[in-house]
Amino acid sequence: MLVLEGIKILELAHMPPGELCTMILGDFGADIIKVEALPQSGNRGVGVSGIADADVLKAAAAFNALNRNKKSIRLNLKSEEGRQVFHRLVKKADVIVEGFRPGAVNRMGADYETAREINPRIVYCSLSGYGQDGPYSQYPGHDINYISIAGALNLIGRPGEPPAIPLNFVADFAGASMHGAVGILAALYAREKTGKGQLVDISYTDSVISLMTFLLQQYLFAGLKFPKGEWSLGGGYPYYKTYETSDGKLISLGCLESWFWDNLCKAIGREDLRSYGFSPEHFLGKSSDPKWKEVEDDLKQIFLSRTRDEWFEILIKHDVPAGKVNTLDEVFNDPQLIHRGMLLEFDHPKLGKVRHPGIAIKLSETPGKVRSLAPYSGEHTDEVLLGMGYSAADIEHLRKADAIG
């Protein structure tokens, strides 16, 4: 049994954060129909789909973990007949997920108010940069812009240098994708009590504020500013930092607690440094005491004496929070990630072994499952429409009218 079996989702995400949101739900059994535009509509997404030929796209689809456990249909929501097909889908759906700028779905007849009129039980999740309302709601943006507005970007990096850009993990995926999935589940649970659906309005920027709660509560209470690269969790002190090793790789330390710092000092034979561990005032910024620089320089030299993996084994044996700074080539060979099933392999009839990132949420009784690899665009158009009661002649008419693809 999969816990979300029977939940039907229409995905109008068109960008990876929305696709990850529905992927999480699909891994636990949700039946997802990915509604994609016709090829002549152009490509607004990010990836290879705009530059590769059809055979390459079909092969790439098998590796597209974001779209696993989904079916794909092509609908022209700019045409009246295409919208009618979509509205028939809405009647039987539980959830709609869309990722357009506010107002864009209104022009497609795919907005919340229209969907609610058709199906009052619909849970409608909108993912947008700044939310469905407010002075910024129509502004364009990407992850870097959202974490800028939310104040996260200014906290990351070295002092005196421009911020370090954390790829698009924060607002896009940790922010919008995860908050979207939680919001949908909460709304489905509420529907069990009320019988009614609702709008789930997820702002990428709001989500970053939520992720920053640990820091912001301290700013709001005590005015702590967490200067970039100068405080305890930002790399300003030697106990929470990365160090180069003799093989040119890096190892990370996270010795915030006094006992972990003590363990490190024992492991490296420098118990004279025990008094230079974490102190609450380190949240305020970097100390002006020159001794801290000496401690850091000493650690740099010590870690250059062995390889990364040698240090990892030594430190873990001494109960020191340490981590190998893995490259992507090393991640899926890490014994812990292999043990946890964070690399999945499937046999494909044409492509051989296909690998996907695993399912992070582990449920003891109803675990998630990859039931199917990702479809290529429009692969299931005919199948879905036949299942809705359209005849082969109806489908041919819709295709000739450019309502489907």
pLDDT tens column, 56-100: 777 888 999 999 999 999 999 999 999 999 999 999 999 999 999
CB 132, CB 102: distance < 8 Å: yes
Q: Which of 31, 94, 172, 206 is catalytic?
A: 172
What backbone torsions phi and psi does residue 74 show, to the nearest 5 degrees?
Answer: -110, 125
Prediction pTM value? 0.94
Weakest mean pLDDT among 79-88, 267-276, 346-355 = 346-355
Classify domain 232-244+250-324 at the CATH superfamily level.
Answer: formyl-coa transferase, domain 3 (3.30.1540.10)
Query: Which part of the chain has CATH 3.30.1540.10?
Result: 232-244+250-324
172 part of the active site: yes
Look up residue 293 and give its two tokens: 């620089």
Task: Strands of 3-135 (E only): list them.
Answer: 8-12, 31-36, 70-74, 95-98, 123-128
Q: Which residues contact 79 (CB under 8 A, 6 or more apart)?
A: 401, 402, 403
Q: Which of 142, 318, 319, 397 is catalytic?
A: 142
CB 398, CB 81: distance < 8 Å: yes
pLDDT at 44 over 50: no
CA dist 45 and 66 (Å) reads 13
Query: Which part of the chain has CATH 3.40.50.10540?
Result: 8-211+339-400
pLDDT at 174 over 80: yes
pLDDT band at 14 (very low <50, low <70, confident <90, very high): confident
Q: What is the pLDDT of residue 55?
A: 74
Q: What is the pLDDT of residue 57?
A: 75
CA dist 384 and 401 (Å) reads 18
Nearest to 403 by CA among 108, 91, 31: 108
Q: For residue 402, what are the CA distances in angstroms to 27, 78, 104, 328, 405? A: 32, 10, 20, 43, 7
- Overall average pLDDT of the 167-185 stretch: 98
Angle between helices 204-211 and 178-194 (to 10 degrees): 100
CATH class, domain 8-211+339-400, is: alpha beta
Determine how many CB atoms are found less than 10 A away from the CB of residue 335.
7
Q: What is the pLDDT of residue 124?
A: 98
Which H or E run contains 74?
strand 70-74
Q: Give tens-digit pLDDT for 331-350.
A: 999 999 999 999 999 999 88
